[in-house]
Chains A and B, each alone.
Chain A
Amino acid sequence: MISLFDGFLLRAAFAGIGVAIAAAPLGCFVIWRRMAYFGDATAHASILGVALALGFQTPIFAGVLIISLLMATAVSNLSDRGFAMDTLLGVLAHSSLAFGLVAVSFLQGVRIDLMAYLFGDILAVSRGDLAVIWGGAALVLVLLWSRWSALLTATLSPDLAYAAGLNPKREQLILTIALALVVAVAIKVVGVLLISAMLLIPAAAARPFATTPERMAVTAASIGTFSALAGLQASFVLDTPTGPTIVCFAAVVFALASLGDQLRQVKHSKPN
């Protein structure tokens, strides 16, 4: 019994760490480029991917990845054409979630636990899931690592990127792909509704501690990892849903970091 028990908790821990590490650097870009809603829209659309994958009996990961990619590409193209982005993204995020939920209800003969997809089911992560999570996370990290400088330059200013012979649109596409990958990987761990939280909160919490973009990404990964492990432990002890508990820990770190930063600024602005 003990070894079995260790097994699923260990798998859950590794799943959480994998998602936290992949989401951290990407989350930094989401913040720097003010794409928070963009992450939301992509994540919410993925429930439609779940429905389609179940309907066509393909692996969930593939369905989610394809729909996320489509959604992210659509949003990224629309943003180039100068639509009122906040409205547009709000419409897309919530309508895709609604369509996804309706599509799930059409599935006949398939019993699915909707809650598991909305809020994640980290304790049910299988060996196969773990391989997918770590494979996807590694791919995201390699993608970001190899284009890091170009991505940063394009984030600072597309014109600076052009002048240096880079194509900012290509960098945008890379971020889009990475985002779809993280969504597909994280759906099992924190669920559709909380993926954005895993992207944003650790990165935002890391901001006061960082002087360079790299440090912010590394700090975010540490905060994310801590939240995943602490959340897992707490949910086990308190018998609370794991995904939301993980996000709660990240949020507490964010609150403490912001508070500390405020106090530091007040201290600096007042001599004596």
Chain B
Amino acid sequence: MSLVSLQNLSVRHGGNTVLSNVSFSITSGEIVTVVGPNGSGKSTLLRSVIGAQTPSQGQVIRQGGLRIGYVPQKLHIDPTLPMTVRRFLSLPDRVSNQHAKDALAQAGAGQLAQRQMSGLSGGQFQRVLLARALLCNPHLLILDEATQGLDQPGSAAFYHQIETVRQSLGCAVLMVSHELHVVMAASDRVICLNGHICCEGEPEHVASAPEYRALFGSGTQGALALYRHEHNHSHDHSCGHDHAIDTDVTLPPNEKVTPK
């Protein structure tokens, strides 16, 4: 039984078709990542899943009683609105102090409870958003470029936190990310989106798909390829060759690569 399934979903903004004929579903416990260039409809896809976007065609079917924890791309809190972290966690449903404390600790944001939301750093803010999303004990955690504005160690720690949360809560995770190397390491399934679903499947499968390489292969100058390369085998010599144009990256993951 899938938590959410999208059936032939199309979304139009004004005269533009943002998404056309998108179908996919997400089941309990899996981490699905949506990748795609800017303007490819990633956020629109997530907003359709939470019900904030009315589809022009097709439908979104949510499991009855589905609890969604949503971490938006960014959240602007008007400076006229006073809001402590603790108060924010109790929106929309009141939570006990113990729950709030646990969720903050789980999201790596302990000690922040009495701070004003407007005074938090980017990383702290994202962690508080994550803590709030965890409080409803979600079946499905949705993250829209949640690590935007974090530095590399920060975002690595954030994704590590998400993996930990997934293991402890057993929730499914649906996320959008630009950080391809993290995506490929952390996801069970990758959806490559560009107005429609170009390809989807396990990270290894997607990474080798021609549609994916057409979108990212040349654009990232092989940065992703470099990553796959490193993780498919270990180098015991200093790298003398150019990873960016290395061809072994498209090989299936288990294939042995002989260092040149």
Contact = CB atoms under 8 A, between A and B. Distances in A.
Contacts of B93: 149, 164
B50 A212 contact: no
A149 B116 CA distance: 18
B50 A31 contact: no
Interface residues of A, number: 29
Q: Chain A's interface: helix, strand, loop or mixed, by majority?
A: helix
Q: Chain B's interface: helix, strand, loop or mixed, by majority?
A: loop
Given A150-B92, A162-B51, A213-B87, 14 more contacts: A32-B81, A34-B78, A149-B91, A156-B77, A157-B72, A162-B47, A162-B52, A163-B50, A164-B70, A164-B93, A165-B68, A211-B116, A213-B81, A213-B82
A153 B92 contact: yes
Interface string B76-101: 01101111100110111110000000
Interface of B: 47, 50-52, 68-70, 72, 75, 77-78, 80-84, 87-88, 90-94, 116, 136, 142
A159 interface: yes
Contacts of B84: 211-212
A160 B90 CA distance: 13
Interface in A139-182: 149-150, 152-153, 155-166
A188 interface: no
Contacts of B75: 156-157, 160
Nearest to A32: B81
A163 B81 contact: no
B94 to A, nearest CB: 7
Contacts of A156: 75, 77, 81, 83, 88, 91
B91 A153 contact: yes
A159 B92 contact: no
Nearest to B47: A159
A207 interface: yes
B68 A215 contact: no
15 contacts: A32-B81, A149-B92, A150-B92, A157-B75, A159-B47, A159-B50, A160-B75, A160-B91, A164-B70, A164-B93, A165-B68, A207-B82, A210-B82, A211-B82, A213-B87
Contacts of A26: none
A212 B83 contact: yes
Contacts of A33: 78
Contacts of A67: none
A65 interface: no
B92 A166 contact: yes
